[in-house]
Every structure is written in C-alpha cells, then in structure tokens.
Amino acid sequence: MILSTTAPSARRETQAFIDQPHQLLIDGQWIPAASGKTFDVFNPADGSKLASVAEGEKADVDKAVAAARRAFDSGPWPAMTPSQRGKLIWKLADLMDRHIEEFAEIESLDNGKPKAVAAAADVPLAIDLFRYMAGWATKIEGTTIPISVPYLDGAEFHSYTLREPVGVVGQIIPWNFPLLMAAWKLGPALATGCTVVLKVAEETPLSALRLGHLIQEAGFPPGVVNIVTGFGETAGAALSAHPDVDKIAFTGSTEVGKLIVKGAGETNLKKVTLELGGKSPNIILPDADLPAAIAGAANAIFFNHGQCCCAGSRLFVHRSQFDQVVDGVATEAAKIKLGPGMHPDTTMGPMVSKIQQDRVCGYLDAGAHEGARAVIGGKRPESEGYFVEPTVLIDTKSSMKVIQEEIFGPVVAAVPFDDVDQLVQAANNSVYGLAAAVWTKDISAGHRLAKRIKAGTVWVNCYNVFDASLPFGGYKQSGWGREMGYEAINLYTQTKAVTLQLK
C-alpha cells in the first residue's frame, strides 16, 4: 500500500538551504533567538530530522514588534508611494517564479505533500496572490460624501474618507499550506502599507523562511516583514497578547482562535480576523453527473490528505444512489498511492506530524467505537512515516464525533438523505460554516441550495476552486472576516472620515 519510503533527494540548492542554520528575520537581519534555543523540524515521510530552527519566544516577539512599529511609523515604508509598494510586491512574485521547484521541494519535505502538487498548486497560487495584491496597492480609495448636518442651517462642508493601513499586524499561520498561507496573509498587509510580524507554524517553518530571503532580495525596507519561528503557546501567544500589535490575522483551529480573541480582549482590543475550522457538507443531488460528482467527492476530502479547513468531510448522497457513490469514492480511495511527497508516483503523502497522525487515528477509533464502519481504510499503515489510509465511513449518526468534529485527515463520512429540507437541516447542523458544495445538473436547484447552506463558500459542480480575487472565510465558528479579494484589503485598512467647513 505504501510506496517505498526512499524517494529522490532534493536538488542541491534546496538541500543547502534546508541544512543551513535557520534564524529569525527581525528588522532586516537574520538573528538567533534571544535565548539561543533552537528546535528540530521533521520529515513526516520517515520521521527523520530535517532542520534546526531558532525558537523565538516573548523576547523575540517584543523585538520583532518594535521593529515593525518603527518601520510603520517612520523610515522608507510609509514614505513609499502605492505604486512603489505594488512594484516591490510584484518583484517578490517574480523572484518566487524563479524558485518554484525549490519551494515545491521544501514544502514537500517539510509538510509531506506531493512535490508535484506543491509545484502545481501551492507555489503558483502564492505567486498569483502576490501579483493580485500588488495591483490593489494603487487602488485603495476613499469616497467623497455629500453631508447635510441638519442642525447647522446654511453651513457647507466637504467630507471624504481615507482608507489607512491598520498598522502593525501579527500574523499566525498553520502548517497545511505553509507558503500559501504566508502569501494570503502577507499580500494584503503589504499592499495596504501595514508592517508584519509573521509567526509560522512550528511543524513547517522552512518555506516562509525561504520567502523571507526573497523579501530581502526584493528590497523591502527592514522591519516591514519580520518572521518569528517558535511555538504557539509561547511565540504565538506573546504576539496575540502584545499591546503594540494593532491587528492579529490568524488561521488555525477554532480552539486557538478563541484564545486569540481572549488575548486581544484582555490587552488592547486589537482587531482580529480568523480563518478557522470546518466540517464542510458536500452534497450530491439525485440528478448529478455521478462520475464527476464521485471524482469531485474524492478530491474534496483527499486533496492535501484531508488537511484542508474546507475539506468535504461530510458527503451527503440521496439514498437511491448512496451505495453507488460510496463504492465509487472507495474505488477512488483505493487508487491513491501513499508515499513520500518527493516520490514521483505518490498521490498522497503522510500527515504533517505524529501528533496529527495520532489525532486522526483517534477519530477513526472513536468512530469505530460509536458504530461507524470503514468501507475502505480506517487505520494507519505500518511505516516510519506519519501515514493514514484514505478512509470512507458509513453507518454514522449525527451525534458522532466523526460527524461533529473536524478530523483534518483523509476521512470522509458518507450520509444518506431522503429529501432536500432534511438535507439542508443536516448540512447546516454544525458549529462550522466554512465551505460546501452541491452537485446537480439543475441550475436552479444549485442556486437554491447555495442560498440555504450557511457557509462562506459554496461550490456548484466543482470543489476546491480558489482564486486570489475570491473572498474566502467562514460563517459561524469558522471565522471572522475574509482572506483574499477586495475584502482582505478592507480588513487591513481602516476608514477615516475627514470634514472641512467651506461656509
């Protein structure tokens, strides 16, 4: 079932980067952690040590925030024109273009995902995001507003709004799309003129550190982007509770999202945007193009090993087609080749970490204990790597953990439905509301369901379609605010109303 765990090595330049000591990027300099501490990151395909990285903590976060504050308040960054900012962001995208293979290899070794997927999806999407946001730098506009002021008879005014950068932004990102999440966060912050302290996930710090070198090469002034590697409970918590941070943008678990809100509330009421968990319903209506829907359902859950906040983890199928669809998705699962991301034949790599592998297997055990049945998969294969078999569960109940909680692994629960009202009720029966999909040939039915599902994204006859221009984010406990598109620009700016009396 598992391809050999030996895989081609990375190119020489990739390996040289991985092997170097990895430090913190603060105020334009690479420096060790104040404590001198480092931590190891591992290759999830075989559990071997991959690299050693500086362990930033509160003292380092304080230094990084001070650098970001200086860069925001004075120096070349606030003096730059929008066009100059846009050009720098575009230049960064051009530099990334020259390193697609290297980024894909780093991502594959650090996160476990197939290199080909990283080269086709993660890296180009990150580059495209920067180019999209580079364009916004020159298009952030206020409005002129005719005002009446009824209590000042005869007076005349000229009122307009300015959209100004929010300030120093702390950005905390997860490990599932390390480079792409860095781009989603950095792009709008840089386009609007904010400065950043980026706290990358402790499991997968390497691609953002490589990006840090390109940020320097592109010529961003010191302190505009600071990168701190370290753990959530120390570096992440220090950043989210920091009194001189104006906004926190976080992507990760709902549990940590709540801690971040608490940290903001207990300090300076900094602005908070959150992109959190999901338990997305993927709905196949009876008239759907079944082969397309089955392939789509497999992609919805197995893409990125199910480690997607928008993974289609609850598959709703009309009872008349339930067995056929379950067989079809199980057949797709059986074709998946588990192996190291660097192996050219691998179609699914390992979970990112032993902890994540144990977490997913814990859900599989809980499902089995509560009476769910795996028609395929259901366990971890024998391996040094952190693999989990692609799994299709049936015989679930709405109260089960595997239906209610986010598993963040290659595990889909298929659930039959009889009528659309019951389906909508079941699909919306979740604390989450990140994404959903509907498969149907009836365009009106697709639109009607899109309206009734409580989620920030609804795909019809497709899944996992992302674009830098499309807002992405959650209803309910899936988050606050949106990533990408103009909505992201809005969330990195604040409105100032200016009024002049003319008469």
Strand-pairing partners, residue 433, are 475
Q: Does 55 bind ligand ADP (CB under 6 A)?
A: no
Q: Is 297 in the site for ligand ADP (CB under 6 A)?
A: no
Residue 171 to residue 196: CA distance in whole angstroms = 7
| Closer residue to ligand ADP, CB minimum distance, 200 or 376 | 200
Structural tokens at position 258:
């709540």
180 binds ligand ADP per the rule CB under 6 A: no
Q: Give residue 349's identity as a one-letter amino acid code.
A: G
Q: What is the dihedral of CA 332, 338, 340, 343, to 10 degrees?
A: -60
Instruction: Please check whether residue 65 is in contact with residue 168, taking contact to mean a CB–CB distance below 8 angstroms.
Output: yes
Taking the least distance from each CB to ligand ADP, the nearer of 40 and 233 is 233
Closest distance of CB 408 from ligand ADP, Å: 6
Q: Contact between 404 and ligand ADP (CB under 6 A)?
A: no
Q: Which residues lie below 8 Å from residue 181, measured CB to CB, with a gap of 6+? A: 173, 174, 251
* Cβ distance to ligand ADP smaller for residue 260 or 438: 260
The single residue among 229, 240, 396, 478 that binds ligand ADP, judged by CB under 6 A, is 240
CA distances from 364 to 370, 373, 403, 444 (A): 10, 10, 11, 37
Asked if residue 393 binds ligand ADP (CB under 6 A), the reply is no
d(CA 222, CA 215): 10
Catalytic entry in 107, 275, 389, 483: 275
B/e letters for 372-381, b = 16+ CB within 10 Å, e = fewer, are bebbbbbebe
Query: Is residue 287 within 8 Å of residue 297, measured between CB atoms?
Result: no
Residue from 165, 174, 473, 479 that binds ligand ADP (CB under 6 A)?
Answer: 174
172 part of the interface to ligand ADP, by CB under 6 A: yes
Kindly write out the interface string for residues 195-234 of this chain, putting x where it contacts ligand ADP by CB under 6 A and - elsewhere. ----x-xx----------------------------xxx-
Stretch of residues binding ligand ADP (CB under 6 A), selected from 249-257, 364-372, 381-389, 466-474: 249-257
Catalytic residue among 194, 308, 309, 310: 309
Whether 309 is catalytic: yes
Give the DSSP letter of residue 348. B
Q: Does 358 bind ligand ADP (CB under 6 A)?
A: no
Stretch that binds ligand ADP, among 169-177, 314-322, 398-406, 430-438 (CB under 6 A): 169-177
Q: 227 and 25 in contact (C-beta within 8 Å)?
A: yes
CB of 145 to ligand ADP, least distance (A): 39
| DSSP H/E element including 38 | strand 38-43
Nearer CB in complex with ligand ADP: 232/485: 232
Establish if 360 lies at the interface with ligand ADP (CB under 6 A): no
- C-alpha 335/C-alpha 142 separation (Å) is 53
Q: Does the active-site annotation cover 308?
A: no
Among 165, 205, 252, 281, binds ligand ADP (CB under 6 A): 252
> What is the nearest approach in angstroms of ligand ADP to the Cβ of residue 326?
28
Cβ proximity to ligand ADP, 211 vs 288, nearer residue = 211
Give strand pairing partners of 495: 163
257: nearest Cα among 238, 235, 240: 240
Q: Which region, judged by CB under 6 A, interacts with ligand ADP, from 111-119, 255-263, 339-347, 384-392? A: 255-263
Cα-to-chain-centroid distance, residue 138: 26
Strand partners, 168: 195
Angle value at C-alpha 211, between 306 and 245, nearest 5 degrees: 85
Choose, by CB under 6 A, the member of 237, 293, 336, 453 that binds ligand ADP.
Answer: 237
Q: Are 360 and 351 in contact (CB under 8 A)?
A: yes
Give the nearest distance from C-beta 445 to ligand ADP in angstroms.
35
Could you say whether residue 256 binds ligand ADP (CB under 6 A)? yes
Q: Could you list the residues that contact ligand ADP (CB under 6 A)?
A: 172-174, 199, 201-202, 231-233, 236-237, 240, 252-253, 256, 259-260
Q: Please list the active-site residues.
A: 275, 309
